[in-house]
Amino acid sequence: MIVWLIGTLKVMAVGHGSAYEQKIWNSLASELRELQSNNTKSKIVLTGHSLVGAIAEIVAARLGFSALVWSAPGAVYLQRFFNITEEQEQRDVVVVIPDFDVVPRVDKHAAVVQRIQCWAKNHQVEDPLKCHSIAKSSCEVWRVCGDDKRRNFNNTCFPYISNAELGTLYPVLNAPIIAT
């Protein structure tokens, strides 16, 4: 149903295979290539959260850029609408998926998937809506990995993580929380 809806909206907005659609892709490619040429010492990585993450994933796969996206719905069923392949997604895209977050499970992922945990303070079960939050996800990465620049994110992450949990791993469960 979602594939049909996206396909229908895409056709309504730009027409399937229309000159307008090609103009959009050409413009995106031009802007990204210009950005790349103006920043030769940097690697361009597209990023986004949720729906914007899905857009970044599709653009990266189609134009050959790298992408790191957060809580994005998958794009396997949408490949034919955007002329991308599973190989392009596997090569160019990493998607971060928090446990309990249902949005990334709207479609399958061909991209490399990095699962992260999503628990409330003191290893309590978290509200699934909070698991979709980019703030919660970034605090989870900070909780486990820290920050090599030694920045302190306590003010931002206090609602999600207690100081005692910093740098610790939660116990591993015998099965994934939500199977993908």
Judged on CB neighbours under 10 Å (0-12, 13-18, 19+), 47 is middle
Distance CA 77, CA 108 (A): 7
Note the pTM of the prediction, 2 decimals: 0.80
Write out pLDDT tens, residues 4-56. 666 666 555 555 556 777 787 888 889 999 999 999 999 999 999 998 999 89
